[in-house]
Amino acid sequence: MKNFSTRIFFRKEWNKENYSDVVIVLRGLHKYETKPNQFNIMWNISHPELVSIGEYNSYDYIFISSIFMAEELSKKLKVPIKPLLQCTDEKLFFPEKSANHAHELLFVGNSRGFLER
């Protein structure tokens, strides 16, 4: 097995010089400018409506956290795209069984500070 070194760059560090061979961008609200000397991978984990076709095509490979969006975008993009769903540890995050929490319909969501107008 081969060893690889990794480094996390936070958004304020994105434009600093780095010599990485492969860059994996977790795309949410903010755009990353790809660099031609790197293999650029995007994992679009939220807000696909903010990403233009041109931005998607500036990457070498796209993952997106929606099967539906992967199918829709594959018809429009020049680069490969596959669904890569988000997941969680069900041992840590699970519904509590309680009559106090019983509802006919329940929506759980978070805008993370992003408000539609």
pLDDT above 70 (res 115): no
Q: Is the pTM of this model over 0.85?
A: no
The strand pair at 22-27 and 39-44 is best described as parallel
State pLDDT tens for residues 54-70: 999 999 999 999 999 99
Give 25 or 110, the one with higher predicted confidence.
Answer: 25
**If pLDDT is split at 50, 70 and 90, which confidence band does 114 have?**
low
Residue type, position 58, single letter: S
| DSSP, res 60 | S
**To the nearest whole percent, how much of the chain has pLDDT over 90?**
49
The string of DSSP letters for 86-111 reads: ----TTTS-----GGG--S-------
Q: Are 24 and 7 in contact (CB under 8 A)?
A: no
Question: Mean pLDDT score of the chain, rounded to an integer?
Answer: 87
Kindly give, in sequence order, each residue whose CB lies less than 8 Å from that of residue 52, ignoring residues fewer than 6 positions away.
none
